[in-house]
Structure 1
Amino acid sequence: MESILSATMSAIGWMLGLAFLGAGIGMGILGSKAAEAIGRNPETKNDVIQGVMVVAIITTILLLVLFAFIFLLLFFNPLTV
């Protein structure tokens, strides 16, 4: 029983860590490419910023869905009887 709970906690930690790592790297790359695009063509600043915000909102929504799944695993663990 304790091994199942420790494995679940370890999996939750890995999921959170990798999710935030991926989101952080992705947002960093997105920001650098947006700055590069605005630097090349300043007239398209509003379009670039609008596209960046859409991607940032989608990433945030996906992280919130991940949190819901993690809390589901944390409190209603299907592996424990």
Structure 2
Amino acid sequence: MPVLRFLNSPAGRVVRVLLGAALIAVGASIGGWWWLLALLGVLPLAAGLLDFCTLAPLFRLPLAGREFREATRRRQPR
């Protein structure tokens, strides 16, 4: 769960955007079948820009970033 919390933090969103952009750049520059890598890079890029976490539903947490942060804040012991 700490990984999901990081991915939904502002720093995690930046990491997802940079990772997606890097995958797109590498896949597009190499060409050939590597364009699939560029296509794969669209997912983390979109997730970071649009503030959603694709892994959260696997842990029965909300997909939307704001809702995810609220749900995890309620679950933490005080």
- Normalising by structure 2, we get a TM-score of 0.47
Relative contact order: is structure 1 or structure 2 higher (C-alpha 8 Å, sep ≥ 6)? 1
Higher helix fraction: Structure 1 or Structure 2? 1
TM-score of the superposed pair, with normalisation by structure 1: 0.46
